[in-house]
Amino acid sequence: MDPASPPPPDTVRDTVRIYEVGPRDGLQNESVPIPTVAKLRYVELLVAAGLREIEATSFVSPAAIPQLADAGELVPLLPAADGVRYPVLVPNERGLARAEAAGARAVAVFTAATDAFTERNIGMTIARSLEAAAPVIRRAGDLGWWRRGYVSTAFGCPYTGAVEPSLAVDVAIRLLELGVDEVCFGDTIGVGVPGQVAALTGAARAAGVPLDRIAYHFHDTRGTALANVAAGLDAGVRCFDASAGGTGGCPYAPGAAGNLATEDLVYFLDASGWTHGVDLEGVLAAARFIAATLGRPLATKVGQAGGWDPTSGAPTGRPAGRA
Ligand code: COA
Ligand code: ZN
């Protein structure tokens, strides 16, 4: 681990960071072109809901992810709100140069726990992807940017099956050595269960990774995402990814369905007494907006049921006119 970049002080233990991935992970797999102004509106609604970390887009090859080919147009338009960070996903130096030109200030690099997945996703082995990430992480550090590193397929791979925690942890350690502020373990295809979250967190801690440099990224493909969040909280992790409206999926991860919905996560955290700074009704407004933009009903649990007011027993946050 790089002693020059100590982890941030881990002071408030009952505060959870919700890292919104809707505009990037949520939209990257959508085939119908979404206008840049609609992406911007989605982000504006997320900011209004109190989200402070919003992964806005990616500077990858437009041939690989056509939906996000407008990253260079979107980033300069992002609302400059106090304390809001807009990381962008970057695969290589070319992507970082584009991100820098657009005015980005935070970056996420990505690799995975299995070679089979990285080869399908980005045409590289894990080792090669780390070589590609190294100058990106270094340059972003020189620019003073916040830096995250994703370890995808940390719970299971669509091409090779079960993944040992040690594989994911080894990759995470490499990313931290390269200088990322945080590693995010991704359950890209939504196969993980709480026992795996406990095992992976334990393995990471045993390898020297501080808890406040770990984030989790769950997909709700098999309905285990919130149970996995609970296991992460139990293990001491305090950062979780989610997507307002439950959009999401990776074109190179067959079977990947939506991310954990931000509205489902916010309801769960509120009802469990965690502080996070995000307003459920605001998230529901963003979720409804993106569902309407995509021409689909809002299918998430809390998107349909609304929140719940424990003082009156009534649902909250449902659109007017719905019983
Ligand atoms: N931004 C824009 N264009 C880029 C780029 C970037 N960051 N990186 C590469 N390109 C372009 C090259 O200029 C080249 O264009 P050309 O065909 O017009 O000459 C083309 O993409 C291929 O470049 P190459 O360096 O050979 O890369 P590749 O074809 O091996 O692709 C990646 C590697 C990583 C760039 C590509 O696989 C990618 O962007 N994948 C992203 C996958 C993703 O986002 N998945 C979801 C997130 S988990
Ligand atoms: Zn994802």
What pLDDT, on the 0 to 100 scale, is given for residue 318?
77
- For residue 96, give Cα distances in angstroms to 20, 60, 91, 172, 303: 21, 9, 8, 21, 35
* Centre of ligand 2 from the C-alpha of residue 261, in Å: 12
- Mutate which of 25, 60, 130, 157 for ligand 1? The one with the most ligand atoms within 8 Å of its CB, which is 60
Domains annotated on the chain, with CATH: 9-316 (3.20.20.70)
Ligand 1, closest atom to CA 123? 30
pLDDT tens figures, 213-232: 999 999 999 999 999 999 99
Q: How far apart are CA 105 and CA 134, in angstroms?
A: 17
Backbone angles phi, psi at 94, to 5 degrees: -60, -45
pLDDT tens figures, 161-178: 999 999 999 999 999 999
- For residue 257, give Cα distances in angstroms to 33, 199, 270: 19, 24, 25
The response to whether residue 250 sits with its C-beta less than 6 Å from ligand 1 reads yes
The response to whether residue 58 sits with its C-beta less than 6 Å from ligand 1 reads yes
Q: Is 149 exposed, middle or buried (0-12, 13-18, 19+ CB in 10 A)?
A: buried
* Centre of ligand 1 from the C-alpha of residue 16, in Å: 34
What pLDDT, on the 0 to 100 scale, is given for residue 257?
75
- The Cβ of residue 293 has, within 10 Å, a number of other Cβ atoms equal to 19
Residue nearest to atom 19 of ligand 1 (CA): 61
Active site residue 250: yes
Q: How far apart are CA 26 and CA 132, in angstroms?
A: 24
Q: How far apart are CA 147 and CA 105, in angstroms?
A: 9
* Centre of ligand 1 from the C-alpha of residue 61, in Å: 4
What pLDDT, on the 0 to 100 scale, is given for residue 2?
43
